[in-house]
Amino acid sequence: MQHQETNFFKEQLRTGEALYLPSISVDCVIFGFHAGQFKVLLLKYKHNNKWALPGGFVYKDEDVENAAIRVLNERTQLKDIFLQQFYLFGDVERSKEKHAEKLLQEEGIEDIDAHWLQQRFVTAGYYALVEYNKVKPVPDALSSECTWHSITDLPDLIIDHKQIIEKGLQVLRRQLNFQPVGYNLLPEVFPIKELQLIYETILGKKLDRANFQRKILSYGILDKKEKHYSGGAHKAPYLYSFNKESYFKALENGLAKEW
C-alpha cells in the first residue's frame, strides 16, 4: 500500500508536466486549536527531514481552489473544510532554494535539470480552519510524518513556508470579525472560555473574561445548552453551540464591536 502510493507519486512526478498547470502550486495552512494553543499541520519530507506545508499542484482542468480542497482532504481525511485563499506568493526569489532538486534525486528521477518541478513556481496560500480532534493526519508519499505543530514553536521549514504561515495568521487576525473562526475550530458544543482562548490567541492579547462573555452573548449567536461540563475542581460552565443562522448573518456585517 505504502509502496503503491510511492509509485503513484513517482509516476506523477514523471507525468506532471502533462497533468498540471505549469508554474503554479497551492499551499495550505491548516489551523487547529488544542489545549489552548493554535496548531498547524505540517509534513516532514523524507529526503531532507525538513518540514513543509501540505501543498500540491493544479490539474489543467481544475479550479485552483479545488486543488487546495484536494490537498486538505488527503491530509486530514475531512470533507467540507472551511477554506480561505489569502495570498499569492509570487516572488522570483522563492524558487531559488532548489528544494526540488534533492527531492528528484532522492526519488530516482532522471533528467533533473529539465524537470518541470525545477521550474519557477508561484504558490497560492490557503488557510483552513478545522476541528482538531476530527483530523486524522496522513503523510503523503514523499513524507514520513504529518503532525500538528504549535505556531509558537515551528520547526525548520522549506523555502518561504514560515512566511506563508505568518501571512496566513496575519490575514486571519484582520478577518477575525468576518470569518466563522469559532464555528470551524471548535466542536459542536463548547464552553465560552474556549472561544475566548481562540480570540485571545488570534488577537495576541488577554481579554477580560466577564466582558468577553457579555459581548459574545450580546450578538445572539450562541445557544445555551442544558448540559454541563465536567472538568477541573471548580464551578462547571454552561456549554454553548453556535446558532448557525444568526452567526452567519452577523458575520456578513462583521462582529463590529471591538475586542
Partner DNA sequence: TTATATTGTGTCAAGCTGACACAATATAAC
Partner DNA sequence: GTTATATTGTGTCAGCTTGACACAATATAA
Binding site for a copy of itself (CB under 8 A): 21-24, 58, 60-65, 85, 87-88, 90-93, 120, 122, 124, 174-175, 178, 254, 256, 258
Q: Buried b / exposed e across 132-145, counting CB within 10 Å, b at 16+? A: beebebebbbbbee
The nearest distance, CB 90 to a copy of itself, in angstroms, is 3
For Cα atoms 202, 206, 208, give the angle at the middle one, nearest 5 degrees: 125
Q: Which of 126, 141, 159, 160 is nearest to 41 (CA)?
A: 126
Q: 154 and 95 in contact (C-beta within 8 Å)? A: no
Q: Should residue 231 be labelled a site residue for DNA when binding is judged by CB under 7 A?
A: yes
Which CB, 61 or 153, lies closer to a copy of itself?
61
- Closest residue by Cα to residue 148 from 43, 26, 35: 43
Q: Which is nearer to a copy of itself, 116 or 242 (CB)?
A: 116
Residue 253 binding partner per list DNA, a copy of itself, none, with a CB distance cut-off of 5 to 8 Å that depends on partner kind: none
Interface residue with DNA among 96, 136, 173, 228 (CB under 7 A) is 228
**Residue pair 224/204 in contact by the 8 Å Cβ criterion:** no
Find which of DNA, a copy of itself, none residue 205 binds, CB within 5 to 8 Å per kind. Answer: none
Alpha carbon 225 to chain centroid distance? 30
Expressed in percent and rounded to 5, the helix, strand and coil fractions of the chain are 40, 25, 30
Total chain residues near DNA (CB under 7 A): 24
Beta carbons within 8 Å of 188's beta carbon, 6+ residues apart:
241
CA neighbor of 29 nearest in space, from 93, 77, 72, 74: 72
Rounded to a whole number of angstroms, the minimum distance from the CB of residue 174 to DNA is 18
Binder of DNA out of 116, 135, 191, 250 (CB under 7 A): 191
User: CB of 22: closest distance to a copy of itself in angstroms?
Assistant: 5
Q: Does residue 3 belong to the site contacting DNA (CB under 7 A)?
A: no
Residue 233 binding DNA, by CB under 7 A: yes
Nearer to a copy of itself, 48 or 175 (CB): 175
Single out the residue of 14, 34, 167, 215 in contact with DNA (rule: CB under 7 A).
215
Q: Which residues are near DNA by CB under 7 A?
A: 191-193, 208-211, 213-215, 218, 228, 230-238, 257-259
